[in-house]
Amino acid sequence: MRVLITGGSGLIGRALTKRLVAHEHEVVILSRSPERVTGLPAGARAIGWDAATADGWAHEADGAGAIVNLAGANLGAGRWTEARKQVSLESRLRATQAVVEAITSADTPPPVLVQGSAVGRYGDSGDQVLTEDVTPAPSSDDFLALVVREWEAASAPVEAAGVRRVIARTGVVLDDDEGALPRLAMPVRFFVGGPVGGGKQWVPWIHRADEASALHFLIEHADASGAYNLAAPESATNAQLTRAVGRALGRPTVMPVPGFAIRLLLGEQAQVVLDSLRAVPARLTAAGWTPRFGDLDEAVRDLLG
Ligand SMILES: NC(=O)c1ccc[n+]([C@@H]2O[C@H](COP(=O)([O-])OP(=O)(O)OC[C@H]3O[C@@H](n4cnc5c(N)ncnc54)[C@H](OP(=O)(O)O)[C@@H]3O)[C@@H](O)[C@H]2O)c1
C-alpha cells in the first residue's frame, strides 16, 4: 500500500519509512523541502507541500492506504519564547487541516489516519500509571498538553468521512542521533552526567524501532482506533535512564542536576525533562503488539553501544 507521512523527514518518519519499505509498502514523505530529504531507501520518495493546504499533493492521498500525520515545528529546538510556542501550535494545526482537507476531498479516502500525538497529553502525573483510559487532567499552564490536545482535536473531522482515526500518543523516542538520548548522553560522555531534578520522574521511553513497529501495527490493524500510548511496557525513572546511559558508555552518573538549574537554563521548556509521565502501552499490548526492546539497558546499548 501507499503510505503518506507528513513530516516524514524527521526522527520518527525516517524510522517508520525504513520499516514500511522493508515490508514492501510505498512511502511518500511530505516535506517543505523535499530536495533536502536525501538517502531514502528504494520504495520511498519525498514530495513538496506547503504544510497548510492540500494543493499539489491531494492526488497522492486519493487511494492511499494510510496517512501518518507527524509534521510540526520541533518543540525541543530551543527556549519556548511566545513566538516559538505559537509556531509549534499553529504549524501542527495548519498541517492537520491540510491533511483533513486532502482526506475529505478524496474520491477514495485512505482508510486510516494515524494522528501524531504525545503522552504529554496526560499532564505531569507523578507515579500514576497512565493507561489510555485515564482522563487527561493537565494543569492550565501546561503548554505541551495544550498543543497536543489541539493537535489531536484538529484531526477529528476525518471520522465523519468514515476514516479510522488512530491517535499515536508517543513517549520519548530514543535515537542515537536526535531527540532526548543524545542530549542526555552528552554530559555523561564528559563525566558530568547524573539524574536531573531529583531523578524520580517517570520517562515513557521507546526505542525508535519500536515506535516504527507500533505505528506500522496500528496502520495495519483494522480494529485499531482512538488513542494508543506508544512507549515501552516499563517506564524508567530519569535516574534509571541516566544510569542505563552511563552503563552503555562506561561512565559514572553521579553528578545530579537540580531542577532549579534546569528551569533556569530552559525556562518553561524544562517541563519536557521534569514532568513525570508513567505511560504504558496498555491498548497496544492488549491488541497483541510486542516491542523488540522492552529492556531499557538493551535499548540504550543498541543505540549508544
Ligand atoms: N521524537 C519524540 O520523542 C516525540 C515524542 C512525542 C511526540 N512527537 C511528535 O511527533 C512528531 C514527529 O516527531 P519527530 O521526532 O520525528 O519530529 P522531527 O524530527 O522534529 O520532525 C518533524 C518534521 O516536521 C516538519 N516540520 C518542522 N517544522 C515544521 C513547520 N513549522 N511546519 C510544518 N512542518 C514542519 C519537518 O519536516 P520538513 O522540514 O521536511 O517539512 C520535520 O522533519 C512531532 O510533531 C513531535 O512533536 C515526537
By the 10 Å C-beta count (0-12 exposed, 13-18 middle, 19+ buried), 114 is classed as buried
Give the three-state DSSP class for 29.
strand
The answer to whether residue 258 sits within a structural domain is no
Q: Which residue bears the cell 525508535?
A: 208
Mutate to test the pocket of ligand 1, among 19, 32, 122, 130 (most ligand atoms within 8 A of CB): 32
The answer to whether residue 261 sits within a structural domain is no
DSSP 149-214: HHHHHHTGGGGGGT-EEEEEEE-EEE-SSSSHHHHHHHHHHTT----BTTS-SEE-EEEHHHHHHH
Protein residue whose Cα sits closest to atom 11 of ligand 1: 70
By the 10 Å C-beta count (0-12 exposed, 13-18 middle, 19+ buried), 277 is classed as buried
Q: Which residue bears the cell 476514516?
A: 163
Mutate to test the pocket of ligand 1, among 33, 69, 74 (most ligand atoms within 8 A of CB): 74
Using CA atoms, how far apart are residues 154 and 137, in angstroms rounded to an integer? Answer: 19
Q: What is the pLDDT of residue 19?
A: 98
The answer to whether residue 251 sits within a structural domain is no
Q: What is the pLDDT of residue 76?
A: 79
Give the three-state DSSP class for 235.
coil
**CB neighbourhood size of 59 (10 A):** 12
Mutate to test the pocket of ligand 1, among 9, 12, 174 (most ligand atoms within 8 A of CB): 12
The answer to whether residue 114 sits within a structural domain is yes
Nearest-atom index, ligand 1, CA of 75? 47
| Number of domain units in the chain | 1
- Domain of residue 48 covers 2-238+267-304
Cα(10) to centroid of ligand 1, in Å? 6
Question: In this structure, what CATH number is given to the domain that contains residue 90?
Answer: 3.40.50.720
The answer to whether residue 274 sits within a structural domain is yes
Taking the whole predicted model, whether its pTM rises above 0.75 is answered as: yes
What cell numbers appear for 74 in the block?
A: 520541533
Q: What is the pLDDT of residue 261?
A: 86
Using CA atoms, how far apart are residues 299 and 147, in angstroms rounded to an integer? Answer: 29
The answer to whether residue 249 sits within a structural domain is no
Tens of pLDDT along the chain (305 residues) come to 999 999 999 999 999 999 999 999 999 999 999 999 999 999 999 999 999 999 999 999 999 999 999 999 998 777 889 999 999 999 999 999 999 999 999 999 999 999 999 999 999 999 999 999 999 999 988 999 999 999 999 999 999 999 999 999 999 999 999 999 999 999 999 999 999 999 999 999 999 999 999 999 999 999 999 999 999 999 999 999 999 999 999 999 999 999 988 888 888 888 889 999 999 999 999 999 999 999 999 999 999 98
Rg (CA), the chain: 19
The answer to whether residue 252 sits within a structural domain is no
Using CA atoms, how far apart are residues 8 and 16, in angstroms rounded to an integer? Answer: 8
